[in-house]
Amino acid sequence: MTAPQPDLVCRDLTKTYDAFRAVDHVSFDVPQGSFFSILGPSGCGKTTLLRMIAGFQSPTSGDLLIKGKSMIGVPPNKRPVSMVFQHLALFPTMNIGENVGFGLRQRRVPKAEITSRVGQVLDRVGLPDVSARRVDQLSGGQKQRVAIARCMVLEPDVLLLDEPLGALDLKLREHMKVELKSLQAAFNTTFVYITHDQSEALVMSDNIAVMNNGRFEQIGTPHDVYHAPDTAFVAGFVGDANKFHAKISAVNGSQLTLETPAGEPIKVEAPNPNLSVGQDAVVFLRPEAIALATSDIGDTVNGSRGEVESVLFNGANSTVTVRGGQGDIIKVALPQTGDFGTLRKGDTVFTRWDPKKARCYPAPKG
């Protein structure tokens, strides 16, 4: 017995436009029933990648397999994938039932069966009795669910989602994140979701691929991508991070000592073998990895004294920016436990952080 084959496999998929390479040798596979996100800034090639999976664009080279079958040269209407479009693309000339039944009509399913299957799938997305309504009579969240139902009624092997939450307001978006995840679990279908919003990707995915300039920088679980980013780009793009430029002054196994341009020493523990003494490096440090104290804690590793530059209150995500002795500014998460409720601009604070919590990468050239 071999392991069940993945629903979707991409091998060295490349798309080149004239001189521009939109997707550059991307390889990944998505196991059956998992939620896979492709996260990247706009223009990174994620939409091109998704459109190649859907069949609207053909790759310049590489192979694409769905359930073990190559999809090269197969037109979009013959592929076992469905796509939820960015603006949903519900047909305004049809009512909800006709929209959801569109795919089944194309497959020449008998009329009575279409009606019952449309009813079932609308039930499953929690929208019974909307069949006769027009598209513009539904709210944003309901349209979203209809768009998913329209795809799921066809029982696709892979469902592609092209930033479908982008157009919703914040509250609804938060709600739909949870709902999408539970719909995915209920249908047990493979979802491939593209987004530029890291929180959507982190909350919903089983695996995340972080994409930049047409390449995958890292594929991993949300936890890995957040806590153990492979590259400087991932560390900077996923989550908030303080970024320092420094020069490596000593390497001792995984223990690195760096020196900031201002001459301040930093100690980082990073299992990165590509770093050597004298090299320029960038250090990323999460705001929540920095401990804050109002009184001096003595001479500890990576401890420093600073002055509160500003307090940015944002509920549980509140931060303070602290100006260090050399004028460098770092962002520190502000615990809302009440200890720092009185912190004001100009107060003196002490910061320190664990060398294991920081990440260090070679500085990009140029």
Partner 1 sequence: MASDTSRLGFYLLLAPILLWLVVLIILPHIGLFVVSISEKIGPREYETGFGNYATFFGEPLYWRTFARTAIMSIAATALTLILGFPIAYYIAKLTRGRTKTTLFLMCMIPFWVSELVRTFGWMILLRETGVLSNFLQYLGLVNGPVEMLYNDAAIMVGLVYTSILFMVVPLVTTLDSLDDSLIEAGYDLGGSSAAVMREIVIPHAMPGIVSGCIVVFMLSLGNYLTPILLGGKDSLWFTGMIYTQFITRFNWELGSAFGFLLLALSSLVVFLGLKLSGRSLSETMGRS
53 binds partner 1 (CB under 8 A): no
Task: Choose between 49 and 332: whose C-beta lies nearer to partner 1.
Answer: 49
Out of 5, 41, 43, 56, which residue is the one contacting partner 1 (CB under 8 A)?
56
Out of 39, 52, 54, 292, which residue is the one contacting partner 1 (CB under 8 A)?
54
Task: Choose between 193 and 361: whose C-beta lies nearer to partner 1.
Answer: 193
Q: Give the nearest distance from C-beta 85 to partner 1 in angstroms.
A: 5
Count of CB atoms situated within 10 Å of the CB of 114? 21
Please report, as residue ranges, which positions from 114 to 173 form the binding site for partner 1 (by CB under 8 A).
150-151, 154
Q: Give the nearest distance from C-beta 130 to partner 1 in angstroms.
A: 19
Coil vs helix vs strand at 358: coil
Task: Choose between 105 and 245: whose C-beta lies nearer to partner 1.
Answer: 105
E strands, 18-68, are 20-30, 35-39, 61-66
Q: How many CA atoms lie within 13 A of 26 on its CB side?
A: 36
Q: Give the nearest distance from C-beta 144 to partner 1 in angstroms.
A: 14
Task: Choose between 44 and 83: whose C-beta lies nearer to partner 1.
Answer: 83
Out of 38, 50, 83, 158, which residue is the one contacting partner 1 (CB under 8 A)?
83
Out of 5, 43, 69, 87, which residue is the one contacting partner 1 (CB under 8 A)?
87
Compute CA 17 distance to the chain's CA centroid, rounded to the nearest angstrom.
Answer: 25
Going from the C-alpha of 165 to that of each of 68, 175, 183, 187, 188, the distances in angstroms are 30, 10, 15, 19, 20
Query: What residues contact residue 181 under an 8 Å CB cut-off, 6+ apart?
Result: 35, 203, 204
86 binds partner 1 (CB under 8 A): yes
Specify the length of the chain in residues: 366
Tokens, residue 130:
């909307």
Q: Give the nearest distance from C-beta 53 to partner 1 in angstroms.
A: 11
**Do residues 130 and 96 touch, judged by C-beta distance below 8 A?**
yes
Please report, as residue ranges, which positions from 94 to 113 form the binding site for partner 1 (by CB under 8 A).
94, 102-103, 105-107
Q: Phi first, then psi: give them for residue 124, nearest 5 degrees.
A: -65, -30
Coil vs helix vs strand at 136: helix
The pairing of strands 265-269 and 348-353 is unpaired
Task: Choose between 193 and 216: whose C-beta lies nearer to partner 1.
Answer: 193
Q: How many CA atoms lie within 13 A of 42 on its CB side?
A: 2
Out of 76, 140, 324, 362, which residue is the one contacting partner 1 (CB under 8 A)?
76
Please report, as residue ranges, which positions from 282 to 301 form the binding site for partner 1 (by CB under 8 A).
none
Count of CB atoms situated within 10 Å of the CB of 19? 5
Listed residue (38, 74, 91) closest to 214, CA to CA? 38
Q: Give the nearest distance from C-beta 78 to partner 1 in angstroms.
A: 8
277 binds partner 1 (CB under 8 A): no
Q: Give the nearest distance from C-beta 40 to partner 1 in angstroms.
A: 20
Q: Give the nearest distance from C-beta 143 to partner 1 in angstroms.
A: 13
Q: Give the nearest distance from C-beta 75 to partner 1 in angstroms.
A: 7
Tokens, residue 49:
């990648």
Rounded Cα gap, residues 301 and 294, in angstroms: 17
Task: Choose between 150 and 331: whose C-beta lies nearer to partner 1.
Answer: 150
Out of 34, 47, 48, 82, which residue is the one contacting partner 1 (CB under 8 A)?
82
Out of 77, 274, 314, 342, which residue is the one contacting partner 1 (CB under 8 A)?
77
* Packed helices 170-187 and 140-152: angle between N→C axes, nearest 10 degrees: 20
Size of the site for partner 1 (CB under 8 A): 26
| Residue at 294: amino acid letter | T
Task: Name the site residues for partner 1 (rule: CB under 8 A).
Answer: 54-56, 75-78, 81-83, 85-87, 89, 91-94, 102-103, 105-107, 150-151, 154
